[in-house]
Chains A and B, each alone.
Chain A
Amino acid sequence: MVALLEVTAPSHRPSRAGERGGHVTSEISRQISLAGLPEDLERVARFQFTGGAMEDMIPPTLFGALTVHSYESAGGQHHEDVAPAAAAVEFTAAAASVLDDLQDLDPIPGIDPNDPGAGAELVALFMALANQSMCGLKSTGMSSGSIETAMSILSHFEVRALAGQHRANQIDLAEATDGSMELATDASHEKSGSFGRLAAEIGAALATNDEALIHAHGEFGHHLAIIDQLQNDVAGVWPGGEASTDISLGRATSPLMFAFEVPSGVNKAADEVKTALRSRDESGGRDEAWVREALFKSGAVHYAWVVAAVHRAKAASLAAKCVQSNPNSRIADLLVA
Protein backbone atom coordinates (compact mmCIF):
# COMPACT_ATOMS: atom_id res chain seq x y z
CA MET A 1 0.00 0.00 0.00
CA VAL A 2 1.30 3.45 -0.89
CA ALA A 3 0.40 6.69 0.85
CA LEU A 4 -1.64 8.97 -1.34
CA LEU A 5 -2.22 12.69 -1.12
CA GLU A 6 -5.83 13.24 -2.09
CA VAL A 7 -6.96 16.81 -2.46
CA THR A 8 -9.94 18.61 -3.82
CA ALA A 9 -9.36 21.66 -5.98
CA PRO A 10 -10.64 24.82 -4.29
CA SER A 11 -13.95 25.93 -5.76
CA HIS A 12 -12.91 29.56 -5.65
CA ARG A 13 -9.44 31.05 -5.77
CA PRO A 14 -9.43 34.77 -5.07
CA SER A 15 -7.54 36.92 -7.54
CA ARG A 16 -4.91 39.17 -6.07
CA ALA A 17 -3.55 40.55 -9.33
CA GLY A 18 -6.16 43.14 -10.19
CA GLU A 19 -5.35 46.79 -9.71
CA ARG A 20 -2.40 46.23 -7.39
CA GLY A 21 -0.65 43.79 -9.72
CA GLY A 22 -1.42 46.10 -12.64
CA HIS A 23 0.37 48.99 -10.97
CA VAL A 24 3.46 46.83 -10.46
CA THR A 25 3.60 45.52 -14.04
CA SER A 26 3.10 49.07 -15.34
CA GLU A 27 5.97 50.24 -13.17
CA ILE A 28 8.23 47.43 -14.41
CA SER A 29 7.44 48.42 -18.00
CA ARG A 30 7.96 52.12 -17.23
CA GLN A 31 11.33 51.51 -15.59
CA ILE A 32 12.53 49.46 -18.59
CA SER A 33 11.44 52.30 -20.92
CA LEU A 34 13.10 54.93 -18.71
CA ALA A 35 16.42 53.10 -18.93
CA GLY A 36 16.82 54.09 -22.60
CA LEU A 37 18.22 50.71 -23.61
CA PRO A 38 19.29 49.55 -27.08
CA GLU A 39 16.25 48.05 -28.79
CA ASP A 40 17.48 44.45 -28.72
CA LEU A 41 18.42 44.61 -25.03
CA GLU A 42 15.08 46.17 -24.11
CA ARG A 43 13.27 43.43 -26.02
CA VAL A 44 15.14 40.68 -24.16
CA ALA A 45 14.53 42.41 -20.81
CA ARG A 46 10.79 42.58 -21.52
CA PHE A 47 10.80 38.92 -22.59
CA GLN A 48 11.56 37.91 -19.00
CA PHE A 49 8.29 39.52 -17.85
CA THR A 50 6.08 38.37 -20.71
CA GLY A 51 6.88 34.67 -20.75
CA GLY A 52 9.13 35.01 -23.79
CA ALA A 53 6.72 36.71 -26.15
CA MET A 54 5.86 40.32 -26.92
CA GLU A 55 2.50 40.01 -25.24
CA ASP A 56 0.94 41.41 -22.10
CA MET A 57 3.13 41.22 -19.03
CA ILE A 58 2.40 38.31 -16.72
CA PRO A 59 1.29 39.11 -13.14
CA PRO A 60 4.12 39.89 -10.71
CA THR A 61 5.48 37.06 -8.61
CA LEU A 62 4.90 36.21 -4.98
CA PHE A 63 7.68 38.64 -4.06
CA GLY A 64 6.06 41.70 -5.64
CA ALA A 65 2.80 40.68 -3.97
CA LEU A 66 4.58 40.45 -0.62
CA THR A 67 5.93 43.99 -0.95
CA VAL A 68 2.53 45.51 -1.75
CA HIS A 69 0.61 43.47 0.85
CA SER A 70 3.21 44.18 3.55
CA TYR A 71 3.11 47.91 2.81
CA GLU A 72 -0.66 48.01 3.25
CA SER A 73 -0.58 45.62 6.21
CA ALA A 74 1.89 47.87 8.04
CA GLY A 75 -0.36 50.91 7.55
CA GLY A 76 0.56 52.22 4.09
CA GLN A 77 -2.36 54.13 2.61
CA HIS A 78 -1.78 54.32 -1.13
CA HIS A 79 -0.66 51.01 -2.62
CA GLU A 80 0.32 52.69 -5.90
CA ASP A 81 3.07 54.56 -3.99
CA VAL A 82 4.90 51.31 -3.25
CA ALA A 83 4.84 50.11 -6.88
CA PRO A 84 8.45 51.27 -7.58
CA ALA A 85 9.65 49.18 -4.60
CA ALA A 86 7.63 46.17 -5.74
CA ALA A 87 9.08 46.61 -9.24
CA ALA A 88 12.58 46.71 -7.73
CA VAL A 89 11.85 43.45 -5.92
CA GLU A 90 10.60 41.95 -9.19
CA PHE A 91 13.80 43.04 -11.00
CA THR A 92 15.88 41.47 -8.22
CA ALA A 93 13.91 38.23 -8.45
CA ALA A 94 14.29 38.27 -12.25
CA ALA A 95 18.06 38.71 -11.91
CA ALA A 96 18.19 35.68 -9.60
CA SER A 97 16.04 33.65 -11.98
CA VAL A 98 18.28 34.40 -14.97
CA LEU A 99 21.37 33.61 -12.88
CA ASP A 100 19.77 30.32 -11.83
CA ASP A 101 19.05 29.43 -15.48
CA LEU A 102 22.61 30.31 -16.48
CA GLN A 103 24.07 28.09 -13.78
CA ASP A 104 21.73 25.19 -14.66
CA LEU A 105 22.31 25.68 -18.42
CA ASP A 106 18.54 26.16 -18.81
CA PRO A 107 17.22 28.20 -21.78
CA ILE A 108 16.62 31.92 -21.18
CA PRO A 109 13.95 33.62 -23.33
CA GLY A 110 15.61 35.71 -26.04
CA ILE A 111 19.16 34.65 -25.14
CA ASP A 112 21.36 32.58 -27.45
CA PRO A 113 22.43 29.53 -25.38
CA ASN A 114 25.89 29.81 -26.95
CA ASP A 115 26.27 33.35 -25.61
CA PRO A 116 26.25 33.09 -21.79
CA GLY A 117 27.74 36.60 -21.68
CA ALA A 118 24.38 37.94 -22.87
CA GLY A 119 22.75 36.23 -19.88
CA ALA A 120 25.29 37.78 -17.51
CA GLU A 121 24.54 41.18 -19.08
CA LEU A 122 20.85 40.64 -18.35
CA VAL A 123 21.57 39.81 -14.68
CA ALA A 124 23.58 43.03 -14.33
CA LEU A 125 20.85 45.02 -16.09
CA PHE A 126 18.12 43.78 -13.74
CA MET A 127 20.23 44.62 -10.67
CA ALA A 128 20.73 48.15 -12.05
CA LEU A 129 17.02 48.47 -12.85
CA ALA A 130 16.22 47.46 -9.26
CA ASN A 131 18.30 50.39 -8.02
CA GLN A 132 16.79 52.74 -10.59
CA SER A 133 13.30 51.67 -9.52
CA MET A 134 14.03 52.23 -5.82
CA CYS A 135 15.17 55.77 -6.67
CA GLY A 136 11.70 56.26 -8.16
CA LEU A 137 10.27 56.18 -4.62
CA LYS A 138 11.51 59.74 -4.13
CA SER A 139 8.70 61.05 -6.33
CA THR A 140 6.04 59.50 -4.06
CA GLY A 141 6.68 61.84 -1.14
CA MET A 142 7.94 59.08 1.15
CA SER A 143 10.58 60.21 3.65
CA SER A 144 14.21 59.89 2.64
CA GLY A 145 14.79 57.96 5.89
CA SER A 146 12.29 55.22 5.04
CA ILE A 147 13.59 55.00 1.45
CA GLU A 148 17.14 54.67 2.77
CA THR A 149 16.03 51.90 5.14
CA ALA A 150 14.29 50.07 2.29
CA MET A 151 17.39 50.32 0.08
CA SER A 152 19.55 48.96 2.92
CA ILE A 153 17.19 46.01 3.34
CA LEU A 154 17.35 45.31 -0.41
CA SER A 155 21.16 45.38 -0.45
CA HIS A 156 21.56 43.26 2.68
CA PHE A 157 19.23 40.45 1.69
CA GLU A 158 20.33 40.46 -1.97
CA VAL A 159 23.77 39.47 -0.72
CA ARG A 160 22.34 36.86 1.66
CA ALA A 161 20.27 35.33 -1.16
CA LEU A 162 23.31 35.18 -3.43
CA ALA A 163 25.32 33.51 -0.66
CA GLY A 164 22.54 30.93 -0.25
CA GLN A 165 22.50 30.27 -4.00
CA HIS A 166 26.27 29.74 -3.94
CA ARG A 167 26.05 27.32 -1.00
CA ALA A 168 23.21 25.35 -2.62
CA ASN A 169 25.21 24.94 -5.84
CA GLN A 170 28.15 23.53 -3.88
CA ILE A 171 26.14 20.55 -2.62
CA ASP A 172 26.68 17.51 -4.84
CA LEU A 173 23.75 15.14 -4.42
CA ALA A 174 25.74 12.16 -5.66
CA GLU A 175 28.23 12.69 -2.83
CA ALA A 176 25.67 13.51 -0.14
CA THR A 177 26.57 12.40 3.37
CA ASP A 178 25.12 12.72 6.86
CA GLY A 179 24.63 16.42 7.42
CA SER A 180 24.11 17.28 3.76
CA MET A 181 20.40 17.74 4.37
CA GLU A 182 21.06 20.31 7.07
CA LEU A 183 23.41 22.18 4.73
CA ALA A 184 20.80 22.09 1.95
CA THR A 185 18.07 23.31 4.32
CA ASP A 186 20.26 26.17 5.54
CA ALA A 187 21.13 27.14 1.95
CA SER A 188 17.44 27.09 0.97
CA HIS A 189 16.51 29.30 3.93
CA GLU A 190 19.28 31.72 3.05
CA LYS A 191 18.41 31.80 -0.65
CA SER A 192 14.61 31.66 -0.80
CA GLY A 193 13.96 32.94 2.71
CA SER A 194 16.06 36.05 2.08
CA PHE A 195 13.98 36.96 -0.97
CA GLY A 196 10.76 36.60 0.99
CA ARG A 197 12.19 38.62 3.85
CA LEU A 198 13.50 41.46 1.69
CA ALA A 199 10.21 41.71 -0.24
CA ALA A 200 8.09 41.92 2.92
CA GLU A 201 10.44 44.09 4.99
CA ILE A 202 10.81 46.65 2.21
CA GLY A 203 7.04 47.01 1.96
CA ALA A 204 6.60 47.31 5.73
CA ALA A 205 9.57 49.69 6.19
CA LEU A 206 8.05 52.11 3.68
CA ALA A 207 4.86 52.26 5.77
CA THR A 208 6.08 52.29 9.38
CA ASN A 209 9.07 52.91 11.64
CA ASP A 210 7.93 50.18 14.06
CA GLU A 211 10.90 47.80 13.95
CA ALA A 212 9.00 44.92 15.59
CA LEU A 213 6.24 45.20 13.00
CA ILE A 214 8.77 45.38 10.14
CA HIS A 215 10.47 42.29 11.56
CA ALA A 216 7.16 40.39 11.89
CA HIS A 217 6.39 41.06 8.22
CA GLY A 218 9.91 39.97 7.28
CA GLU A 219 9.51 36.71 9.18
CA PHE A 220 6.16 36.15 7.49
CA GLY A 221 7.78 36.67 4.08
CA HIS A 222 10.58 34.29 5.02
CA HIS A 223 8.16 31.48 5.86
CA LEU A 224 6.03 32.13 2.77
CA ALA A 225 9.06 31.99 0.48
CA ILE A 226 10.20 28.71 2.05
CA ILE A 227 6.74 27.22 1.45
CA ASP A 228 6.88 28.45 -2.15
CA GLN A 229 10.28 26.80 -2.57
CA LEU A 230 9.07 23.53 -1.02
CA GLN A 231 6.05 23.54 -3.33
CA ASN A 232 8.38 24.02 -6.31
CA ASP A 233 10.65 21.27 -5.01
CA VAL A 234 7.71 18.87 -4.71
CA ALA A 235 6.47 19.83 -8.19
CA GLY A 236 9.93 18.95 -9.50
CA VAL A 237 9.64 15.34 -8.32
CA TRP A 238 5.87 14.80 -8.42
CA PRO A 239 4.91 11.48 -10.09
CA GLY A 240 3.53 12.26 -13.52
CA GLY A 241 4.39 15.94 -13.15
CA GLU A 242 5.83 18.25 -15.78
CA ALA A 243 9.44 17.80 -16.89
CA SER A 244 11.93 19.33 -14.48
CA THR A 245 15.70 19.46 -14.29
CA ASP A 246 15.78 18.84 -10.51
CA ILE A 247 16.34 15.10 -10.92
CA SER A 248 18.49 15.13 -14.07
CA LEU A 249 20.79 17.77 -12.57
CA GLY A 250 20.73 16.18 -9.13
CA ARG A 251 19.68 19.40 -7.42
CA ALA A 252 19.89 19.39 -3.64
CA THR A 253 16.16 19.99 -3.11
CA SER A 254 14.39 18.91 0.08
CA PRO A 255 12.71 15.77 -1.34
CA LEU A 256 15.91 14.54 -2.99
CA MET A 257 18.00 15.28 0.08
CA PHE A 258 15.43 13.41 2.20
CA ALA A 259 15.88 10.23 0.17
CA PHE A 260 19.64 10.48 0.62
CA GLU A 261 19.26 11.07 4.36
CA VAL A 262 17.22 7.89 4.98
CA PRO A 263 19.57 5.30 6.51
CA SER A 264 20.26 2.31 4.25
CA GLY A 265 17.97 -0.67 4.79
CA VAL A 266 15.08 1.35 6.22
CA ASN A 267 13.13 1.99 3.04
CA LYS A 268 13.62 0.03 -0.18
CA ALA A 269 12.46 2.90 -2.42
CA ALA A 270 14.89 5.35 -0.79
CA ASP A 271 17.74 2.87 -1.26
CA GLU A 272 16.85 2.46 -4.93
CA VAL A 273 16.66 6.23 -5.46
CA LYS A 274 20.13 6.65 -3.99
CA THR A 275 21.55 3.93 -6.21
CA ALA A 276 19.85 5.36 -9.31
CA LEU A 277 20.93 8.96 -8.74
CA ARG A 278 24.49 8.07 -7.85
CA SER A 279 24.80 6.21 -11.13
CA ARG A 280 22.79 8.65 -13.24
CA ASP A 281 25.74 9.33 -15.53
CA GLU A 282 26.27 5.63 -16.11
CA SER A 283 24.24 2.94 -17.82
CA GLY A 284 22.75 1.87 -14.47
CA GLY A 285 20.70 5.09 -14.20
CA ARG A 286 16.90 4.72 -14.09
CA ASP A 287 14.48 6.85 -16.10
CA GLU A 288 13.03 9.93 -14.46
CA ALA A 289 9.46 8.61 -14.16
CA TRP A 290 10.76 5.67 -12.16
CA VAL A 291 12.78 7.95 -9.87
CA ARG A 292 9.74 10.17 -9.27
CA GLU A 293 7.59 7.22 -8.18
CA ALA A 294 10.32 5.79 -5.97
CA LEU A 295 10.83 9.20 -4.35
CA PHE A 296 7.13 9.36 -3.51
CA LYS A 297 7.25 5.87 -2.00
CA SER A 298 10.30 6.85 0.04
CA GLY A 299 8.30 9.47 1.95
CA ALA A 300 10.22 12.38 0.40
CA VAL A 301 7.06 14.25 -0.64
CA HIS A 302 5.43 13.62 2.74
CA TYR A 303 8.49 15.00 4.51
CA ALA A 304 8.46 18.17 2.39
CA TRP A 305 4.75 18.60 3.06
CA VAL A 306 5.09 18.26 6.83
CA VAL A 307 7.85 20.91 6.80
CA ALA A 308 5.78 23.18 4.54
CA ALA A 309 2.79 22.80 6.88
CA VAL A 310 4.99 23.86 9.81
CA HIS A 311 6.10 26.99 7.93
CA ARG A 312 2.49 27.75 7.02
CA ALA A 313 1.47 27.53 10.67
CA LYS A 314 4.32 29.87 11.64
CA ALA A 315 3.30 32.29 8.89
CA ALA A 316 -0.33 32.21 10.08
CA SER A 317 0.79 33.11 13.62
CA LEU A 318 2.79 36.07 12.30
CA ALA A 319 -0.13 37.20 10.14
CA ALA A 320 -2.33 37.20 13.25
CA LYS A 321 0.26 39.39 15.00
CA CYS A 322 0.16 41.83 12.06
CA VAL A 323 -3.65 41.96 12.26
CA GLN A 324 -3.40 42.85 15.96
CA SER A 325 -1.39 45.94 14.95
CA ASN A 326 -3.61 46.80 12.02
CA PRO A 327 -7.11 45.25 11.93
CA ASN A 328 -7.26 46.15 8.22
CA SER A 329 -4.20 44.00 7.43
CA ARG A 330 -4.89 41.54 4.61
CA ILE A 331 -1.49 39.88 4.77
CA ALA A 332 -3.12 36.54 5.65
CA ASP A 333 -4.75 36.57 2.20
CA LEU A 334 -1.40 35.41 0.84
CA LEU A 335 -1.87 32.13 2.74
CA VAL A 336 -5.04 31.23 0.88
CA ALA A 337 -4.66 28.09 -1.20
Chain B
Amino acid sequence: MSSMDTNMVEAIAREVEKSPLSPDVESFINSFELTSDEKTEVVKILNDMKFKGDDVSALPNTPPQIVDAGWA
Protein backbone atom coordinates (compact mmCIF):
# COMPACT_ATOMS: atom_id res chain seq x y z
CA MET B 1 0.00 0.00 0.00
CA SER B 2 1.42 3.36 -0.98
CA SER B 3 1.92 6.12 1.57
CA MET B 4 -0.90 8.04 -0.09
CA ASP B 5 -3.25 5.12 0.39
CA THR B 6 -2.20 4.86 4.03
CA ASN B 7 -3.05 8.52 4.44
CA MET B 8 -6.42 7.88 2.89
CA VAL B 9 -7.07 4.98 5.25
CA GLU B 10 -6.40 7.37 8.09
CA ALA B 11 -8.65 10.02 6.53
CA ILE B 12 -11.58 7.62 6.17
CA ALA B 13 -11.13 6.38 9.73
CA ARG B 14 -11.05 9.99 11.01
CA GLU B 15 -13.96 11.21 8.90
CA VAL B 16 -16.28 8.26 9.06
CA GLU B 17 -18.55 10.25 11.37
CA LYS B 18 -18.82 13.08 8.86
CA SER B 19 -19.34 12.36 5.18
CA PRO B 20 -17.87 9.98 2.58
CA LEU B 21 -17.43 12.91 0.23
CA SER B 22 -15.20 15.07 2.42
CA PRO B 23 -12.13 16.49 0.63
CA ASP B 24 -9.89 13.71 1.95
CA VAL B 25 -12.26 10.97 0.83
CA GLU B 26 -12.63 12.70 -2.53
CA SER B 27 -8.84 12.65 -2.75
CA PHE B 28 -8.97 8.91 -2.04
CA ILE B 29 -11.44 8.47 -4.92
CA ASN B 30 -9.17 10.50 -7.21
CA SER B 31 -6.25 8.17 -6.42
CA PHE B 32 -7.96 5.50 -8.56
CA GLU B 33 -7.27 7.35 -11.83
CA LEU B 34 -10.90 7.67 -12.86
CA THR B 35 -12.23 9.49 -15.90
CA SER B 36 -14.59 12.37 -15.15
CA ASP B 37 -17.57 10.19 -16.09
CA GLU B 38 -16.38 7.42 -13.79
CA LYS B 39 -15.88 9.85 -10.93
CA THR B 40 -19.38 11.21 -11.45
CA GLU B 41 -20.66 7.62 -11.26
CA VAL B 42 -18.78 6.96 -8.00
CA VAL B 43 -20.07 10.16 -6.38
CA LYS B 44 -23.62 9.31 -7.51
CA ILE B 45 -23.40 5.81 -5.99
CA LEU B 46 -22.12 7.16 -2.69
CA ASN B 47 -24.73 9.93 -2.62
CA ASP B 48 -27.43 7.33 -3.28
CA MET B 49 -26.18 5.52 -0.17
CA LYS B 50 -27.18 8.60 1.87
CA PHE B 51 -24.56 8.45 4.60
CA LYS B 52 -26.03 10.32 7.54
CA GLY B 53 -25.61 10.49 11.26
CA ASP B 54 -27.63 8.03 13.33
CA ASP B 55 -27.27 4.94 15.48
CA VAL B 56 -25.86 1.62 14.22
CA SER B 57 -28.98 -0.11 15.53
CA ALA B 58 -30.98 1.76 12.87
CA LEU B 59 -29.13 -0.01 10.04
CA PRO B 60 -31.09 -2.44 7.86
CA ASN B 61 -30.54 -6.14 8.61
CA THR B 62 -28.70 -6.69 5.36
CA PRO B 63 -26.21 -4.39 3.66
CA PRO B 64 -27.19 -2.49 0.53
CA GLN B 65 -26.14 -3.94 -2.82
CA ILE B 66 -24.56 -1.85 -5.53
CA VAL B 67 -24.89 -4.65 -8.07
CA ASP B 68 -27.22 -7.63 -8.13
CA ALA B 69 -24.64 -10.40 -8.36
CA GLY B 70 -26.83 -13.23 -9.57
CA TRP B 71 -29.57 -14.22 -11.97
CA ALA B 72 -32.71 -13.84 -9.90
Measured CB to CB, the residues of A under 8 A from B are 1-7, 13, 15-17, 20-21, 59-62, 64-65, 178-179, 181-182, 185, 224, 227-228, 231, 234-235, 238-242, 258, 261-263, 266-267, 270, 293, 296-299, 301-303, 305-306, 308-310, 312-317, 334-337
Contacts and interface: CB of A to CB of B under 8 A. Distances in A.
A290 B51 CA distance: 21
A48 to B, nearest CB: 16
A231 B69 contact: yes
A312 B9 contact: no
Given A59-B71, A303-B12, A306-B12, A1 B62 contact: no
Given A262-B10, A266-B13, A296 B67 contact: no
B44 to A, nearest CB: 9
Contacts of B64: 5, 7, 337
Contact of A313 (B25, B41, B48): B41
19 contacts: A1-B54, A3-B51, A5-B50, A7-B50, A17-B71, A17-B72, A21-B71, A59-B72, A62-B70, A228-B69, A234-B63, A296-B59, A306-B25, A309-B66, A310-B29, A310-B42, A312-B66, A313-B37, A316-B41
Interface residues of B, number: 52
Contact of B54 (A2, A16, A62, A227): A2
B45 to A, nearest CB: 4
Contact of B51 (A5, A310, A334): A5
A238 B64 CA distance: 10
Interface of B: 1, 5-6, 9-10, 12-20, 25, 28-29, 32, 34-35, 37-39, 41-42, 45-46, 48-72
A182 B1 contact: yes
Contacts of A241: 61-63
Contacts of B57: 239-240
A266 B55 CA distance: 21
Nearest to A228: B69
B67 A312 contact: yes
B66 A231 contact: yes
Nearest to B70: A62
Given A6-B54, A239-B56, 15 more contacts: A1-B17, A2-B53, A3-B53, A17-B71, A64-B71, A65-B71, A234-B63, A240-B61, A258-B9, A263-B6, A296-B56, A309-B45, A312-B41, A312-B45, A313-B42
Q: Which of B12, B34, B46 has the most CB of A within 10 A?
A: B12
Contacts of A303: 9, 12
Contacts of A258: 9, 12
B20 A306 contact: yes
Q: Which of B46, B59, B65, B69 has the most CB of A within 10 A?
A: B69
Contacts of A7: 48-50, 60, 64
Contact of A298 (B13, B45, B68): B13
A293 B12 contact: no
Contacts of A298: 13, 16
Contacts of B45: 309, 312-313
A270 B71 contact: no
Contact of B17 (A2, A306, A309): A2
Given A263-B10, A297-B16, A309 B71 contact: no
Given A21-B71, A336-B68, A261 B50 contact: no
Nearest to B43: A309
